[in-house]
Amino acid sequence: MGSTIGFTYDLKSDHPEHAEGPQEVLAELDVPETIDLVARALESGGHRIERIGNVHRLLERLPGLDVDIVFNICEGLGHRSREAEVPTILEVFGVPYVGSDGLTLSLTLDKVMAKKAFVADGVPTPRSFLANGKFSLKDLDGMKFPVIVKPCHEGSSKGISEDSIVRKKKDLKAQIAEVNRLYRQPAMVEEFIRGGEFTVLVIGNDPPEALEPVQIQIAGRLDLGDLVYTWRRLTSTDIEYVCPAKAPAGLKRRLCALAVAAYRAVDCRDFGRVDFRVDENGRPYVLEVNPLPSLSDEDVFPIISRAHGWTYEGLLLKIVDSARKRYGIT
Ligand SMILES: Nc1ncnc2c1ncn2[C@@H]1O[C@H](COP(=O)(O)OP(=O)(O)O)[C@@H](O)[C@H]1O
Ligand SMILES: [Mg+2]
């Protein structure tokens, strides 16, 4: 039977104060086309959709929001627990929702904190350290160059470009200071992995299921070397998604197993996407888990659906069904 599904989301257009500045600030937020696409996909499963909007619109509707479950893709703005706002408020009011809870959303948004969970669970991830203002050579502790310097709690490749790759110790301090200054947050310095890049969508709960890995092609290349997935590239035609991936079956199996291990390490629910780099010897490393991956039709959801013989709508409905099952909603 169909449910009434509340839909919470953050639109770029909710933030006219940033309209003039660098558009990268709003990189994680959605455009109306994606909201319409998701709403139509959910409706195709016989559900009734109640569009709510961002956290402020949600607060205006509570208490008394009359929905069976909420489909939440709010990214929030400003602080590192921003993605936790909507799930936590829904819990206060006892409203079921699709996807991970506030703890997982905050943990995964902070790359350094998420790494602690990966390391504790034996999930391979590049060596790294946190650099807040100061840095000493001791912090490197035998790490190999090149390294990449990223803002600690951003997503959507914010603050990442080829300039983020540092090849010599003497240049590291300046790059860390640049990230600290521009993004007003600590930086994570991480060993840079040349080779290939993959992303794996995991869905469901008991047990979670890894779907066909997607290989990232940049500027026509699968062997990426020093190329990285940047926000500027994302808005150009430089990035292509290859699925099924052109990689050995053994590597694909390993990526799937590690994607599930990473998903479990940060306690994801219903869905999540795990980003990998694979070194020149074919060894995969988890870069991060995205419990709120982009649902845009320009991102990986359509190509993954096709590789499984499903539609985009079918994939989204499977995710909703795993949440309904968790709550015992029939
Ligand atoms: N350690 C690394 N080695 C190689 N490339 C990296 C590394 N870390 C990040 N990148 C590149 O930067 C991109 C964005 O980094 P990621 O950690 O996934 O952050 P975001 O949250 O912005 O997606 C990756 O998709 C990859 O191309
Ligand atoms: Mg990523």
pLDDT above 90: percentage of residues in the chain: 79
Residue of 246 and 138 predicted with greater confidence: 246
Neighbouring CB atoms inside 10 A of 225's CB total: 11
Q: Of 142-156, 169-183, 194-208, give the range with the top mean pLDDT.
A: 194-208
Q: Which is more confident, 59 or 163? A: 59
Tokens of 318: 């499977």
The finding on whether 285 has its CB within 6 A of some atom of ligand 1 is no
Q: What average pLDDT does the structure give for the chain?
A: 93
E strand segments, the chain = 4-8, 48-53, 69-72, 97-98, 128-131, 147-151, 165-166, 187-191, 196-203, 209-210, 214-218, 239-242, 271-278, 284-290
Rounded to whole angstroms, the Cα distance separating 19 from 26 reads 9
Q: Is the CB of 126 under 6 A from ligand 1?
A: yes
Write 171-179 long-range contacts (CB < 8 A, 24+). 172/135, 172/147, 173/135, 175/149, 176/131, 176/135, 176/149, 177/133, 178/149, 179/149, 179/150, 179/151
pLDDT band at 23 (very low <50, low <70, confident <90, very high): low
pLDDT tens digits, one per residue of 53-100: 999 999 999 999 999 999 999 998 888 899 999 999 999 999 999 999
112 torsion bin: left (phi>0), alpha (psi -120 to 50), beta (else): alpha
Tell me if the pTM is above 0.85: yes
pLDDT of 21 strictly over 70: no
The answer to whether the CB of 110 is under 6 A from ligand 1 is no
Distance 287 CA to ligand 1 centre (A): 6
Predicted confidence at residue 263, as pLDDT, reads 98
pLDDT per residue as tens digits for the range 186-241: 999 999 999 999 999 999 999 999 999 999 999 999 999 999 988 777 777 889 99
Whether residue 207 is preceded by a cis peptide bond, meaning omega within 30 degrees of 0, is: yes
Residue 155 Cβ inside 6 Å of ligand 1? The answer reads yes
Ligand with minimal distance to 287 CA? 1
User: Which range has the worst mean pLDDT, 6-15, 152-161, 300-309?
Assistant: 152-161
Which ligand 1 atom is at minimum distance from the Cα of 156? 22
Q: Is the C-beta atom of 108 inside 6 A of ligand 1? A: no
Residue 58 is given by DSSP the state H
Q: What is the mean pLDDT of residues 299-309?
A: 98
Identify which of 193, 199, 224, 229 to mutate to test ligand 1's pocket (most ligand atoms within 8 A of the CB).
Answer: 229
pLDDT value at 19 more than 70 = no
Question: Whose alpha carbon is nearest atom 17 of ligand 1?
Answer: 287
